[in-house]
Amino acid sequence: MSQTRPAPAASPRPTPGPRISPIAVILVIALIGSIAYLLFAITVRDSSQIPLLVSGAVVLGIVFTALAAFSVRAVWRAGLEARNGRALLLGLVGGVAAIIAAGCFAGAIILSLL
């Protein structure tokens, strides 16, 4: 007679560790892609450099605006869960992202006027 082990019971607890949102993954990919495009636009040395820089700055501004909006939602959820330190850190990250977005849009406007 062979002995069989009982199957382990499913754990009622969720798995420990941070959960990464799909939106966060998309934002990171968009951030890396837009920075790479902007770096490419800086290396171009012909008459199309300014339009490339303008479009790169606009896309980077859109990505940072989305990051700031995502941070607002994350701050709200952290506040509801009474995670004050996390809410403060996310608020700072979102504020910096909003300032960078404003700078990217301002730079795009200035470059488009050249």
pLDDT tens-digit series, residues 3-42: 777 666 665 666 676 788 888 899 899 999 999 999 998 8
Average pLDDT over residues 95-112: 95
What does the chain come to in residues?
Answer: 114
Return the pLDDT at 8: 64
Stated pTM of the model = 0.77
Return the pLDDT at 47: 85
Asked if residue 53 lies in contact with residue 111, where contact means CB atoms within 8 angstroms, the answer is yes
DSSP secondary structure, 61-99, as one string? HHHHHHHHHHHHHHHHHHHHTT-HHHHHHHHHHHHHHHH
The Cα 31–Cα 61 span in angstroms is: 10
Average pLDDT over residues 51-80: 92
